[in-house]
A and B are shown apart, each in its own frame.
Chain A
Amino acid sequence: SQTIHQWPATLVQPVGSPLSLECTVEGTSNPNLYWYRQAAGRGLQLLFYSVGIGQISSEVPQNLSASRPQDRQFILSSKKLLLSDSGFYLCAWSSGYLAEQYFGPGTRLTVT
């Protein structure tokens, strides 16, 4: 069966510090991968998606970036965090067309 992992579960970082969130998927190959952010009481905002290694599409201009160094690994990064980067970050995968998304447990990021 497929499993998606995210870490860390929670993170408190000062403004201006770097960020690296990692997501890995097991039990499938060539998945579509996604990063979402959810502000408190809000819906999911699509940040990045990837259909293959090295292929990243950005949805929202921001100081975040994403990379996919391996087929089942997706990384979200920032060089300098802003207060507005606080939120609940979710990684997800799907197998493609007409497929549902499977979400990881999420990372709660607080920028102070």
Chain B
Amino acid sequence: SQKIEQNSEALNIQEGKTATLTCNYTNYSPAYLQWYRQDPGRGPVFLLLIRENEKEKRKERLKVTFDTTLKQSLFHITASQPADSATYLCALDGGNFNKFYFGSGTKLNVKP
């Protein structure tokens, strides 16, 4: 099975700065990787998907990179806002395309 590591310590940054979150995985390389946002007591909400043959994907203030050599994905939020405060989860396909494995998430705190 896949082992997925996200920084368990909360990331505290100042409003306006860029937040960078890390997702590392072991074992097989996934065909694609996803990032989700989860607010307390709510289900995760999809943000971005990146395929193994894509190095970078952008959506508004969000950017995801995927380095299959390092077995790592980075998730960036530029010009961060207090409303970006949440837990961010990465998810990898589970070797077949019908299941996913999630990391434990990193909590982001953006201070005004």
Give the residues in chain A near B98, CB-CB below 8 Å. Answer: 32, 49, 51, 57, 96
Q: Are B89 and A101 in contact (CB under 8 A)?
A: no
**Contact count band on A:** 20 to 34
Q: Are B51 and A98 in contact (CB under 8 A)?
A: yes
Give the residues in chain A near B32, CB-CB below 8 Å. Answer: 98
Given A43-B89, A44-B89, A46-B94, A102 and B101 contact (CB-CB distance below 8 Å): no
Given A103-B43, A104-B43, A106-B43, A98 and B104 contact (CB-CB distance below 8 Å): no
Q: Is A92's CB within 8 Å of the partner chain B?
A: yes
Given A43-B105, A44-B102, A46-B99, A100 and B34 contact (CB-CB distance below 8 Å): yes
Give the residues in chain B near A57, CB-CB below 8 Å. Answer: 98-99
Q: Is B42's CB within 8 Å of the partner chain A?
A: yes
Q: Are B42 and A105 in contact (CB under 8 A)?
A: yes
Q: Report the minimal beta-carbon distance from B64 to chain A, rounded to whole angstroms.
A: 13
Could you count the A-B residue pairs with CB atoms below 8 Å apart for me: how many are there? 59
Q: Are B104 and A42 in contact (CB under 8 A)?
A: yes
Q: Are A106 and B42 in contact (CB under 8 A)?
A: yes
Query: Roughly how many angstroms separate A26 CA and B36 CA in the complex, as a whole number?
Result: 22
Q: Are A59 and B104 in contact (CB under 8 A)?
A: no
Specify the main secondary structure of chain B where it touches its partner: strand
Specify the main secondary structure of chain A where it touches its partner: strand
Q: Are A102 and B42 in contact (CB under 8 A)?
A: no
Q: Would you give the 0/1 interface string for A78-93, flagging 1 where the beta carbon is closer than 8 Å to chain B?
A: 0000000000101010
Q: Report the minimal beta-carbon distance from A36 to chain B, rounded to whole angstroms.
A: 8
Taking a contact as CB atoms closer than 8 A, the residue among B6, B42, B91, B97 that contacts A97 in the complex is B97
Give the A-binding residues of B (Cβ under 8 A): 4, 6, 32, 34, 36, 41-46, 49, 51, 89, 91, 94, 97-105
Provide a sorted-by-A list of 28 A–B residue pairs whose CB atoms are within 8 angstroms.
A42-B104, A43-B6, A43-B89, A43-B103, A43-B104, A43-B105, A44-B89, A45-B102, A46-B94, A46-B100, A49-B98, A51-B98, A57-B98, A57-B99, A88-B41, A98-B32, A98-B49, A100-B34, A101-B34, A101-B36, A101-B44, A101-B100, A103-B43, A105-B42, A106-B41, A106-B42, A106-B43, A108-B41
